[in-house]
A and B are shown apart, each in its own frame.
Chain A
Amino acid sequence: DQQVKQNSPSLSVQEGRISILNCDYTNSMFDYFLWYKKYPAEGPTFLISISSIKDKNEDGRFTVFLNKSAKHLSLHIVPSQPGDSAVYFCAASVQGGSEKLVFGKGTKLTVNP
């Protein structure tokens, strides 16, 4: 039951370039999407989110794009820095109720100096 899918297990980019992480979802009830970053031996850390009423949200070097018709979202990191190297999880939830998060499997980003 993969309601949230991150099809790229890993991504390697050069410092200063753009990192693009992708996420697809199947449940059309999802109306809120989040990206979390996770370092080894730590819990997931919230990065950025987007509501389904928007198609873009920007926070500094991080921008999330949402394409509802394609059920696709992406996280852009510009410029990428070595400290961005981590596992990035896409998560989705439905407003109301418990608002549990449904996670993708994650993409391991490596930013090379």
Chain B
Amino acid sequence: QQQVKQSPQSLIVQKGGISIINCAYENTAFDYFPWYQQFPGKGPALLIAIRPDVSEKKEGRFTISFNKSAKQFSLHIMDSQPGDSATYFCAASSKTGANNLFFGTGTRLTVIP
């Protein structure tokens, strides 16, 4: 069973537009929600992360919005650039176990110049 559900599977955005990727989870024990960016042939790189005590976190053009009651969180990429074209993964983990991350299935973002 997929612990973290991610949508859309692919996304095409014009340069300068806003890219929005959504994730949902069921396990209320999750207390850490990172987003990863992966370019072809490279390992995923940690982009931004949030904990459930805040509803939003912003780093540059990247913002995570977190809705604890709905058990949803999303990544917003403002002023999207062609260099942002990559696959994005959301994930979640809890203090139980070995800090294992449960990943979404990924979103392939293409930013058109």
Report whether chain A binds chain B. no
Chain B residues near A (Cβ < 8 Å): none
